[in-house]
Structure 1
Amino acid sequence: MPQSSYVPEPDLLPLQVTSLRFEAAGKPLLSDVSFSLDVGGPTCVVGPNGAGKSLLLRLCHGLLAPSGGSIRWAGGTFEQQRRAQAMVFQRPVLLRRSVRANIEHALSARQLSRSERMKRTDSVLEKTGLLGLAERDARVLSGGEQQRLALARAWALRPRMLFLDEPTAHLDPAATASVEAIIRDIDSEGVRILMVSHDLGQVRRMAGDVLFLHNGHLIAHTDTRSFLDAPESELTSAFVEGRLLW
């Protein structure tokens, strides 16, 4: 597998989230959420349905404005911060174009030469095992291949921060393993990853630390081993054991 030695810029970390709130139609969906992310990871966000996991990612990525509190990056202008982030959704949003064109289109907004765009595109296609499918219509790919393409497209942008919203949901074990391997490779290049997961097995395999949300509240932020093997609260213990939470 080809190696990359790029250093993403600017250095955004640490990310400081303070007293974050979000309301919709007068209903609180996130309440007083505070945490800090520095180098390390990946960090997995877990919790029952409706806990606010995906919402938290969208707020951190700037897709939604918070109702209160703050989300602060350590460095860079607003434009630099925006360009240094990428997000991959549970259901990839792909253009009605070839696999290659999906990546090149994402790069077209960057002030890169055509040769550099082609170089980056070929590199991420090879890293994600999609080079042989480069000219195929992205819409006819399997679910696992589409998610690999979404990751390749984000990777080509060389982000400093990557948000992943349940990237292996609905995938079979083989496709899940392929996607997890790509995420590990991205992580190994120094990209900070914040990932929503519903799979505690995946959390054990992938995460350096865990954010546990319940009913819009941050219940725990701790290392993975402590979260899974030595829960500090009854609520955390109940979640890890698979008991119903209300």
Structure 2
Amino acid sequence: MSMDMGLGSTLLHLQDLGVSYGRLTALQGVNLQVQRGDFIALIGANGSGKTTLLQALHGLLPHSGTRSVASPAPAQVMVFQRPFILRLSVWNNLRVALWLAGVPAAQRAARAREALARAGLLELRERPARALSGGQQQRLALARAWAARPDILFLDEPTANLDPTGKKEVEALLASFRAEGMTLLMSTHNLGQAKRLANRVVYLDHGRMLANQATADFFNDHADDRTGLFLKGELKWDL
């Protein structure tokens, strides 16, 4: 379903969305609007539905309820927790991604060079991409995504396996993407990262969305409920 939306308005809208895998209900009753320029952090315990929600927002999963997109449809890219890196050079990983994104051939070299420079990988452009460190591979995945110029970037735990330096480098890239007007949705277990980067936090618990608030409000408003237990690290498995 599409919606006529102007600049600064809703890009995606979920209404009573549910996702099931056989008898397992992964998401239920999710209502969410994604506004142009948002940086939304999805948080919750393992199995709460964060990755499923990202994939549903991206249009990858069958679902109940309604998923509506703006018209014209926003360009979307998703970077997975373990991004797929082609058995090619760093440079050719960019070139192939731009070809798949439909970027004209005459623009690919300049755009690939700009993206690699931005990610701090230009000097490594001839290196086999799978020989890069984990942090470098994640930055390569982000460079590929940014080079496609998406309106919306979905990120599934983009710094989960990185050391502190790698996390800092990736966070800096993401902050710069948002500063340019890109809309980002990111799942994360790093609450400090959510505070630093996101303007809005969505908290999921057993497939239900229990909170959807401005970041400052979210971290101040949940002293006594299940969300507060999660923030304090006291949410038990049997609850």
Report the TM-score, using the length of structure 2 for normalisation: 0.92
Higher strand share: 2
Match of 1:189 among 166, 170, 180: 180
Match of 1:93 among 57, 77, 84: 84
* Identical-residue share of aligned pairs (%): 41
- In 1, the alpha carbon distance for the partners of 2:224 and 2:30 equals 17
- In 1, the alpha carbon distance for the partners of 2:150 and 2:10 equals 12
Shift of 1:73: 1.0
- How many residue pairs get aligned? The number is 231
Aligned partner of 1:202 in structure 2 is 193
CA-to-partner distance for each residue in 1:11-32, whole Å, 9 max, x for gaps?
6833111000011122211011
Please tell me whether the aligned partners of residues 10 and 33 of structure 2 are also in contact (alpha carbons under 8 angstroms): no
- In 2, the alpha carbon distance for the partners of 1:60 and 1:175 equals 27
Counterparts of residues 221-232 of structure 1 (less than 5 Å): 221-231=212-222
- In 2, the alpha carbon distance for the partners of 1:85 and 1:27 equals 28
* 2:168 is the alignment partner of 1:177: yes
The residue type paired with residue 217 of structure 1 is: R
* 2:45 is the alignment partner of 1:48: yes
Task: Point out where structure 2 has 5 or more consecutive residues left out of the alignment.
Answer: 1-5
Task: Point out where structure 1 has 5 or more consecutive residues left out of the alignment.
Answer: 1-9
CA distance 1:20–1:232, shift in 2 (3 Å): farther
* 2:57 is the alignment partner of 1:69: no
- In 2, the alpha carbon distance for the partners of 1:23 and 1:113 equals 39
Aligned partner of 1:37 in structure 2 is 34
Shift of 1:111: 4.0
Aligned partner of 1:4 in structure 2 is none
Shift of 1:233: 5.7
Q: What's the Cα RMSD here?
A: 1.6
Shift of 1:226: 1.1
Q: Which runs of 4+ in 1 moved over 2 A?
A: 10-14, 109-115
The residue type paired with residue 15 of structure 1 is: L
**SS of the residue 1:90 aligns to:** coil
Counterparts of residues 60-209 of structure 1 (less than 5 Å): 60-66=57-63, 68-76=64-72, 80-81=73-74, 84-209=75-200
CA-to-partner distance for each residue in 1:76-105, whole Å, 9 max, x for gaps?
2xxx54xx0000011110100011111110
Report the TM-score, using the length of structure 1 for normalisation: 0.90
